Amino acid sequence: GLLKTSASAGIPGYVDSYLHAEELTLRKKALTTQEVANCAVFLLSECSSGINAQGVSLDAGMSINYFDKDIVRKSRRLD
């Protein structure tokens, strides 16, 4: 999912996409870098020893409720 960092802030249009996506997440809040770090710490800990060969989606629910801002805007235009 989209992640707000100082590096991503310089990408043209990224902040608008980030804010749009954040509104559409189920919890109305995007993923934080701390949440990504917490997941990494857990996966590297002994507590995750039973987890093998899995993909972990860290996106605050965005993957099940994401609509591209430009597509939504174009679909609402009445030409």
Answer positive or negative: Cα dihedral of 50, 52, 58, 64: negative
**Could you give the CA distance from residue 7 to residue 77 in angstroms, rounded to a whole number?**
33
Domain ranges for the chain = 8-76
pLDDT in tens, the chain (79 residues): 566 677 776 778 777 777 777 777 777 787 888 999 999 999 999 999 999 999 888 887 777 765 666 666 666 665 5
Per the listing, tokens 């800990």 go with 45
pTM, entire model = 0.60
Q: Which CATH superfamily is domain 8-76 in?
A: Enoyl acyl carrier protein reductase (1.10.8.400)
Burial class, 64, CB count within 10 angstroms (exposed 0-12 / middle 13-18 / buried 19+): exposed
